[in-house]
Every structure is written in structure tokens, then in C-alpha cells.
């Protein structure tokens, strides 16, 4: 599969124009050898129309991937960069369906994304944010060698913990 990332248990499929359009069409569908159930992308689905508008000539959203469990072929979440790199930094986000949580998939997927981002010459540091009470997400970042760098208050989400990881640092 073109530009897919692979881990021992996961296949990370690029968030392509096809996936965006089929997800917005609602219902369960199959694409790129995987099954995408309703709600596979979680809350991030609300930004899919914007992704489609911004794609231009590109066939996929740069740095964004559907998380697919290899054993079942089931899409179980989404992860990727939140914006284009700025001043050598890029922020990532990730989320899994209820069925995909608690199995180490997020840790595995974030690790693969970090390796992928090493190939981006315009990125030296990866950033992430979590809610202070989201212990599973905090553990994902800690296991991927992120360092807590501070806190900030967001008008929608409230207090957030801010994390950073230099790509020069080995896992």
C-alpha cells in the first residue's frame, strides 16, 4: 500500500481523499483492504470537510493516518500532524475507538509516526497536548520519550499539559 506505515500489530493508512469522502458518506465501508465502521475517526471527523478543501492536488493529508488493526483488518482510530511544520516543530494528535484502547495501539502508532516524521527535513521537534486527567494519553507520550514542558489553558478544553520530543532523541 502506497505510503502506509507498518508496525507489528498495526497498519497506518494515509488519510486519503477516498477515505475522507467515504467516511463523510456515513456507514460502514471497505477501503485499502480494511473495514471502516461508523465512527472510526471519532471527533476528528468534523474536520474532514476542511481536509478535503485543503487537499488541492495532493491525494492524502500529509502526516495523517487511519489506524488499522492488522489481525482483524478493522480501523480503530486516527493519528497525525495537526498542522504544517512551523519553526522546526509540528504538533501531533491521536485517538482510538473504545475497542482499540488499552492494548498499546496508541503507543505503537505514535512510535511509528515519530519514525515517519524523522524523514521530514522541516521537523526537529514533535509537540503534543493532553488533558491532565487523561492518564492513558500521558502514558502514550511518556512511553514515546516525550517530556512535559508546561501547561496552558485552552478556551474549549481548559487546562492542557504540553509535551515535546526532539526527533534527534532515540526511542
* pLDDT for res 25: 84
pLDDT (tens digit, 9 = 90+) per residue, 82-97? Answer: 999 999 999 999 999 9
Q: Does the structural domain 5-166 have CATH classification 3.30.420.40? A: no
Under 8 Å CB-to-CB from 41, ≥6 apart: which residues? 23, 48, 66, 77, 78
pTM for the model: 0.93
Q: Are strands 125-130 and 89-96 parallel, antiparallel or unpaired?
A: parallel
> What nine digits make up the cell of 32?
485499502
Amino acid at each position: 500500500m502506497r505510503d502506509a506505515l507498518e508496525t507489528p500489530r498495526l497498519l497506518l493508512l494515509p488519510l486519503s481523499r477516498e477515505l475522507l469522502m467515504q467516511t463523510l458518506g456515513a456507514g460502514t465501508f471497505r477501503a485499502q483492504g480494511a473495514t471502516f465502521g461508523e465512527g472510526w475517526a471519532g471527533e476528528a471527523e468534523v474536520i474532514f470537510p476542511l481536509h478535503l478543501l485543503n487537499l488541492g492536488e495532493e491525494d492524502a493529508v500529509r502526516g495523517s493516518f487511519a489506524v488499522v488493526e492488522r489481525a482483524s483488518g478493522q480501523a480503530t482510530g486516527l493519528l497525525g500532524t495537526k498542522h504544517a511544520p512551523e519553526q522546526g516543530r509540528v504538533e501531533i494528535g491521536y485517538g482510538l475507538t473504545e475497542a482499540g484502547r488499552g492494548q498499546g495501539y496508541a503507543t505503537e502508532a505514535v512510535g511509528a509516526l515519530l519514525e515517519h516524521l524523522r524523514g521530514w527535513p522541516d521537523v526537529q521537534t514533535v509537540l503534543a497536548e493532553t488533558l491532565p486527567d487523561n492518564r492513558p494519553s500521558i502514558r502514550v507520550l511518556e512511553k514515546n520519550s516525550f517530556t512535559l514542558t508546561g501547561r496552558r489553558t485552552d478556551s474549549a478544553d481548559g487546562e492542557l499539559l504540553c509535551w515535546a520530543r526532539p526527533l534527534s532523541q532515540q526511542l
